[in-house]
Amino acid sequence: MPPDIIIERSKFMNTDNNKVFKYLMNIDMIIAGFALIILVMITFFGVIMRYFLNNPFVWLQEVQLWCFTWVVFFGGGAAFRSGSHVAIDVLVDHMPAALKKIVEILGYLVSMAVLIYLLFHGKNLVQQLLQTGRVTNILGIPYPIIYGAFPIGCVLMIINYTMVMIKELTNKELNVEGGE
């Protein structure tokens, strides 16, 4: 969530609401954060249980992969907010500003198309897993819970990329008006 949007909205809310709103807008990061903490903790304690207590967590792998999947897909949207996604700018850097902007919008539209396609088929995959009742081997965790992060991640990425794009375009227009 771009900070300036939060500030703007906060004019219309009292501070308590603002705090709630801030947490709400970062809920993906909070979920990914918990998944990461659990991932590190079970791996560390898994080592202790296996080596020192000779009683390994037999469910370690499946919970590790669960957490990992959640970190990646819940974090995917947040990575747009922090500008962490990598892109190759070899050609675009040599383009005139106007063309750059067109290419940027094109890139956004391509990504949207891809993400919507993935959202749709990711949802279908989760539905298939629901129908066939696939669960993890040891703990019997339903796979729709684990892989559900995939379509959710697509939605989060669509929202975040859109917000970043809006912010970037409006900013640039302001700059142009400012007589750049």
Partner 1 sequence: MEMNVVGIAAIVMLVFLFLKVPVFTSVLSGSVVYFILSPNVPTKIIAQRVIAGIESIPLLAVPFFICAGVYMNYSGVTKRVMNFAEALTGHMAGGLGQVNVLLSTLMGGLSGSNLADAAMQAKMLVPEMERKGFSKEFSSVVTASSAMITPLIPPGIAMIIYGSIANVSIGKLFIAGIGPGILLCGSMMVLVSIISKKRGYKPVREKFIEPKEFWVALKEAALPLCLPVIIIGGIRLGIFTPTEAGAVAIVYSLMLGIIYKEMTFKDIISGLKETINSTASIMLIVGAASAFAWILTKERIPQEITELIINMISNKYVFLIIVNIFLIFVGMFIEGNASMIVLVPLLAPVAKAYGINEIQFAMIFIFNSAIGCITPPMGTLMFVTCGITKCKINRFIKEALPFYLLLFICLMLLTFVPVFSTGIVDLFY
Partner 2 sequence: KEDSPETAEKSEETKPVVIQIGYGNNPGEPIDLAANEWKKLIEERSNGSMKVELFPSAQLGSKNDLIDQMLAGDSVITLADGAFYADRGVKDFGIVFGPYLFDTWEECWTLTESDWYKEQSAKLEEKGLKLLASNWMYGDRHTLTTKPVKTVEDLKGMKIRVPNNTIQIKGFEVLGATPTPMAFGEVYTALQQGTIDGLENPLTVLYNGKFHEVAKYLILDAHVKNFTTWIAGTDFFNSLTPEQQQILTETGKEAGIYNNEIQEELNDEALEKLKAEGVQVIDINKEEFKEKAKAFYSLPEITKDWSEGLYETVKDAMK
List residues near partner 1 by CB under 8 A: 29, 32-33, 36-37, 39-40, 43-44, 46-47, 51, 61, 64-65, 68-69, 71-76, 78-79, 82, 84-93, 103-104, 106-107, 110-111, 113-115, 117-118, 121-122, 124-125, 128, 147, 150-151
Q: How many other CB atoms are there within 10 angstroms of residue 73's CB atom?
A: 25
At residue 142, φ and ψ (nearest 5 deg) are -65, 130
- 162 binding partner (options partner 1, partner 2, none; Cβ < 5 to 8 Å by kind): none
Name the DSSP class of 48.
Answer: I
144: Cα separation from own chain's centroid: 18
Q: Does 145 bind partner 2 (CB under 8 A)?
A: no
Task: Check: CB of residue 126 under 8 Å from CB of residue 84.
Answer: no
CA atoms of 133 and 131, how far apart (whole Å): 5
Strand partners, 135: 142
Contact status: 135 vs partner 2 (CB under 8 A):
yes
Give min distance, CB of 73 to partner 2, in A. 17
Residues in contact with partner 2 by CB under 8 A are 50-51, 54-56, 58, 60-62, 125, 128-129, 132-135, 137-138
